[in-house]
Amino acid sequence: MSKVLLEAQDLSKHFPIRAGILKREVGRVHAVNHVNFELFEGETLGVVGESGCGKSTLGRTLVRLYEPTTGTIHFDGKDLTQADKFDLKKMRRDIQMIFQDPYASLNPRMSVGKILEEPLALHDIGTPKERQERVQQLLDRVGLPQDAIWRYPHEFSGGQRQRIGIARAIALNPKIIICDEAVSALDVSIQAQVLNLLVELQKELGLTYIFISHDLAVVRYISDRVAVMYLGEIVEMASSEDLYATPRHPYTQALLSALPVPDPTKRGTTKILAGDVPSPSNPPPGCAFHTRCPHKTDACMQDNPALKAFTNSSQHFVACHHAETLNQDN
Amino acid sequence: MSTQVANNSLGRRALQKLLRQKLTVICFVVIIIYLSIALLGALNLLPDFQARVGESYEPPSLSIAKIFGTDIFGRSVLFKLLAGTKTAISIGFLVTSIAVPIGITLGSLAGYYGGKIDGFVVWLFSVIVSVPYLLMVIAISYVLGKGMLSMCIAMGSIGWVGLCRLIRAEFLKHKEREYVLAARLLGANDYNLIFKQILPNVLHLAIITASLQVLGAIKSEVILTYLGVGVQDGSSWGSMISDATGELVNGHWWPLAGVVITMFFIIYALNVVGDALRDALDPKLVD
């Protein structure tokens, strides 16, 4: 296995809920709860989960757009949670992000040339002429015409805008790019183009991706490893093949069974979960999933299972008390 | 999108859009005429409104000086109106140039930083708007002493509230937008985020508000002068309306008619241009 590039330990992000005229804290939204994972150089780690499970918050906490409540993020031997302003700015060159909404993520009052020059100017890279060349190179790299420099974001289609977003993200030659639902807002045919561009860039520039998405098929296509999140926690993490072939957590099993299969004889095997996701401001005690789990026991209601390696595999992690017994028949 | 407009900046496109409407262009011209009159007034090139041009209360006739008739002292109503235009326009622009910078600064800081700064700004404008506008202006201008300048300061120190609220709300909205997050992620500091990223996206509001502020100040001046606060020397539309109350009863309708007509055109023109600016500068409506 290649070297660990980024490591999150016990990472949590809780948003306080304030009420009353004194703005006292009356509760907390547990958006991300005690998450641990390692990110290896050159890989793509997919993060899946349904809306509101904390995927995006996790991504934004990793780059310190949100201050983590607990935990550490180690990158390149340094703890990002302790980084001061100066270190943080240096770190910004190495970790970048591609956003979900290609319409909101580009400043409507800036020309594309300005948008792409901005990261270089902020870090004092090159002379104006060199920056201009770099911008042209970036446009070329993501497959946009050169005259895009003078045009404004609203003159482009969604797919083209996302390419501009990608060009901006790679402008500083980062090591890690966090793609936060990067293709979710695009048409399926455009999704494929953008995904292929991301794969090409990864090969060429040696990028490492964290790919956040609710789309299981997209994540399967692009990821080497996949982490499944439920209510702010990672419940299962394994290599892409392992996870899709033999899901071990009851939640992952239900999630994957909901994937449409283009085979009419396999119809009707969907495991439909009862109930709704509990509120993250009042998560259930014990295993977060026990309120909807068909296999729950008393232990599940009291102890929150830790994410640990599944029997004799060192790469398949699952957070379930009954992972071993449940999956014997599989 | 044709390639011909592709090279144009947003500002130029907005201007093209403005000039496409005939009414807007006419109103633009009207405003420019008023501005030139004010400028001539400032350069002392307007005819002297104190000079007698005829008998007392001559009704309108076809000579230039008497087109709106004469007042009680036989002075030309038209020349008084022109001098009043200078007063009105300078008040409009003075008030706006006090109110807009305060509104933008406080609104940006409150919306961007939130917390205690926001709390203070919200408290400040809540206190100001809790007192009726005219009472507050009268109170402040009495404290500063009567006269045009103190009236302008009074109106300016209250007039920023509307713009401040608007800018604050826009900042609250924009600072969570992904393009701002992206800029922050690229290493932009607060200064860059406020002035280079967010402000250009909300500045059109300031332009629109400013055009309406000029209008509001002109109307307020008339009311305040009518009430006896405000312009003491020189000619103003407000003092002419104030005089007209007595004259009207005696059948001397022309001074009032003159003021109303003069006010009508500038207020109408500012309104139309303000609306057109809103349409042209809103990025969502730029096609």
Q: What is the pLDDT of residues B69-125, one digit of tens each?
A: 888 888 888 999 999 999 899 899 899 999 999 999 999 999 999 989 999 999 999
Confidence tier at B241 by pLDDT (50, 70, 90): confident
DSSP H or E run through B140: helix B133-144
- Percent pLDDT > 70 in chain A is 96
Q: Which amino acid is present at A300? A: C
pLDDT value at position B26?
93
Q: Which of B23-32, B122-131, B274-283 has the lowest mean pLDDT?
A: B274-283
Chain A residue numbers with beta carbons less than 8 Å from the beta carbon of B187 are 89, 92-93, 119, 122-123
Smallest Cα–Cα separation from B77: which of B96, B100, B101, B58? B58
pLDDT value at position B10?
66
Q: List residues bridging with A317 in a β-sheet.
A: A237, A309
Range A8-18 burial, b when 16+ CB lie within 10 A, else e: bbebbbbbeee
pLDDT value at position B9?
63
Q: Measured between alpha carbons, how far is B239 from B248 in angstroms, rounded to an integer? A: 14
Residue in B6, B10, B179 nearest the CB of A150: B6
Number of residues assigned to chain B: 287
Q: Measured between alpha carbons, how far is B95 from A314 in angstroms, rounded to an integer? A: 73
Instruction: Report residue A46: phi and psi, to 5°.
Output: -85, 140
Residue with tokens 């305060």: B102
pLDDT value at position A69?
92
pLDDT value at position B126?
94
pLDDT value at position B287?
44
pLDDT value at position B15?
78
* Distances in whole angstroms, Cα of residue A17 to Cα of each of A23, A282, B29: 9, 11, 55
Chain B residue numbers with beta carbons less than 8 Å from the beta carbon of A123 are 186-187
Q: Are strands A24-40 and A4-19 parallel, antiparallel or unpaired?
A: antiparallel
Q: Inform me whether the C-beta atom of residue A114 falls under 8 Å from chain B C-beta atoms.
A: no
Cβ atoms of residues A30 and A281 within 8 Å: yes
Q: List residues bridging with A208 in a β-sheet.
A: A176
Q: Inform me whether the C-beta atom of residue B177 falls under 8 Å from chain A C-beta atoms.
A: yes
pLDDT value at position A179?
94
Tell me how crowded residue B95 is: count the other CB atoms within 10 A of its CB.
27
Structural domains of chain B in order of their starting residue, each with its CATH number: 2-281 (1.10.3720.10)
Cβ atoms of residues A64 and A75 within 8 Å: no
Note the pLDDT tens digit of each residue in A78-112.
Answer: 888 888 888 888 888 999 999 988 888 999 888 99
Phi-psi region of A34 (alpha: psi -120 to 50; beta: other; left: phi over 0): left
Q: Inform me whether the C-beta atom of residue A64 falls under 8 Å from chain B C-beta atoms.
A: no
Which residues 16-45 of A have a C-beta within 8 angstroms of B? none
Chain B residue with the nearest C-alpha to that of A155 = B1
pLDDT value at position B5?
40
Confidence tier at A227 by pLDDT (50, 70, 90): very high
Chain B residue numbers with beta carbons less than 8 Å from the beta carbon of A97 are 181-182, 185
Residue with tokens 């007063």: B87
Chain B residue numbers with beta carbons less than 8 Å from the beta carbon of A99 are 178, 181-182
Q: Measured between alpha carbons, how far is B283 from B287 in angstroms, rounded to an integer? A: 8
Size of interface A-B (CB pairs under 8 A): 67
Q: What is the mean pLDDT of residues B37-60?
A: 86
Cα–chain-centroid distance for residue A92? Answer: 17
Contact between B182 and A168 using a beta-carbon 8 Å cutoff = yes
3-state helix, strand, coil in chain A (%, to 5): 35, 25, 40
Q: Inform me whether the C-beta atom of residue B4 falls under 8 Å from chain A C-beta atoms.
A: no
Q: List residues bridging with A229 in a β-sheet.
A: A234
Smallest Cα–Cα separation from B151: which of B74, B94, B201, B97? B94
ipTM: 0.85
Instruction: Report residue A92: phi and psi, to 5°.
Output: -60, -25
pTM (predicted TM-score): 0.81
Q: Inform me whether the C-beta atom of residue A146 falls under 8 Å from chain B C-beta atoms.
A: no
Q: Are strands A208-212 and A225-230 parallel, antiparallel or unpaired?
A: unpaired
Query: Does residue A22 carry a pLDDT above 80?
Result: no
- A91 to chain B, minimum CA–CA distance in Å? 9
Q: What is the mean pLDDT of residues B56-67?
A: 83
Note the pLDDT tens digit of each residue in A141-185.
Answer: 999 999 999 888 888 999 999 999 999 999 999 999 999 998 988
Gyration radius of chain B over CA positions? 22
Handedness of CA A239, A242, A244, A250 (dihedral sign): negative
How would you class B126 by CB atoms within 10 Å of its CB: exposed for 0-12, middle for 13-18, buried for 19 or more?
exposed
Q: Inform me whether the C-beta atom of residue B199 falls under 8 Å from chain A C-beta atoms.
A: no
3-state helix, strand, coil in chain B (%, to 5): 75, 0, 25
Note the pLDDT tens digit of each residue in B124-133.
Answer: 999 999 999 8
Cβ atoms of residues A62 and A73 within 8 Å: yes
Contact between B181 and A60 using a beta-carbon 8 Å cutoff = yes
Mean pLDDT score of chain B:
86
Q: Inform me whether the C-beta atom of residue A61 falls under 8 Å from chain B C-beta atoms.
A: no
Q: Measured between alpha carbons, how far is A233 from A71 in angstroms, rounded to an integer? A: 14
Q: Measured between alpha carbons, how far is A252 from A250 in angstroms, rounded to an integer? A: 6
Q: Measured between alpha carbons, how far is A164 from A168 in angstroms, rounded to an integer? A: 6
Chain A residue with the nearest C-alpha to that of B200 = A109
Chain A residue with the nearest C-alpha to that of B5 = A151
Mean pLDDT score of chain A:
88
Contact between A89 and B179 using a beta-carbon 8 Å cutoff = no
More confident residue, B20 or B171: B171
Note the pLDDT tens digit of each residue in A173-224.
Answer: 999 999 999 898 888 889 999 999 999 999 999 999 999 999 898 999 999 9
Q: List residues bridging with A228 in a β-sheet.
A: A48, A236
